[in-house]
Amino acid sequence: MSLLDVDGLTKRFGGLVAVDDFSFEVDRGEIVGLIGPNGSGKSTVFNCIMGRYDVTAGSVRFDGDDITDDATHEVVDRGLSRVSQESNPIDRYPVAGNIKLFTLPNSVFSFYGGASDEEIYEYAARIDLEDKLQAMPDELPHADVRRLEIAKALATEPDLLLLDEPFAGMNQAEIDALATQIERFREEGMTMVVVDHNMGGLMDLVDRVVVLNNGEKLAAGSPERIAENERVQEAYLAGEGR
């Protein structure tokens, strides 16, 4: 049984069909790349999985259970977490406080309860942020702000982590470091879906690639097969003209 099973997912915004009858599966332990030109529907798929958007049609199953349209906190409690494209740290709390907020009981905005300092150190250490626990978010370089977003997601102890454009805005050294960390997560038993608008950073990292174009599944297969797929190349060339 797949860990994640998205079947016939459709999401409309008024007259716009952002995701159209899209199906894909993720097995436990896999790293799947979800790629497609800008606006092809990748983030919308994540938003539907996480219960941020109600689906228009189709279903999402996690570990055999139907989670379609469940509330986001219920989806997180089941073991899914998502790192958005946008970073949204709370600037008045240091890194440690930002991580801790994600370990507190739902909708309780206080520092009582939640993870211990040792646990927060461990979450930060998994993404090499442990030396910056007392730093304020607005003092951090971009790559560390992105690491903080990942640490917040790790603090919910996910089995499946959805990463939306994790490499965006990073230099090559930072991309290499993050790819190594993502591989380490897999060794620790985490399953991941990584969204990117191109294949660059993903080729060596992912086991399988699924390609979205105009909300529809265009292709799926190994990174090597996808890189040489002419329909995928054409979709990207067409996307560049937009």
Q: Is 213 in the site for ligand ATP (CB under 6 A)?
A: no
Q: Is 12 in the site for ligand ATP (CB under 6 A)?
A: no
Give the position of tokens 């930002």.
98
Compute CA distances 78 → 9, 104, 192, whole Å.
Answer: 20, 16, 15
Sign of the dihedral through C-alpha 52, 58, 60, 66: positive
**Dist CA 120 CA 107 (whole Å):** 19
Count other Cβ atoms within 10 Å, centred on residue 241.
5
For ligand ATP, which is the closer residue by CB, 84 or 229? 84
Q: Is 172 in the site for ligand ATP (CB under 6 A)?
A: no
Q: Which stretch binds ligand ATP (CB under 6 A): 37-45, 62-70, 128-136, 228-236?
A: 37-45
* Sole binder of ligand ATP in the list 6, 20, 24, 40 (CB under 6 A): 40
Q: Which stretch binds ligand ATP (CB under 6 A): 33-41, 63-71, 105-113, 223-231?
A: 33-41
Q: Is 197 in the site for ligand ATP (CB under 6 A)?
A: yes
Q: Is 201 in the site for ligand ATP (CB under 6 A)?
A: no
Question: In angstroms, what is the minimal distance from the CB of 25 to ligand ATP?
Answer: 19
Q: Which stretch binds ligand ATP (CB under 6 A): 35-43, 100-108, 148-156, 222-230?
A: 35-43
Q: Is 200 in the site for ligand ATP (CB under 6 A)?
A: no
**Dist CA 167 CA 75 (whole Å):** 25
- DSSP letters spanning 78-135: HTEEEE-SS----TTS-HHHHHHHTTSPTT--SSSSS--HHHHHHHHHTTT-GGGTTS
- DSSP letters spanning 179-198: HHHHHHHHHTT-EEEEEESS
Q: Which stretch binds ligand ATP (CB under 6 A): 31-39, 87-95, 108-116, 131-139?
A: 31-39
Residue ranges binding ligand ATP (CB under 6 A): 13, 16, 18, 36, 38-44, 197
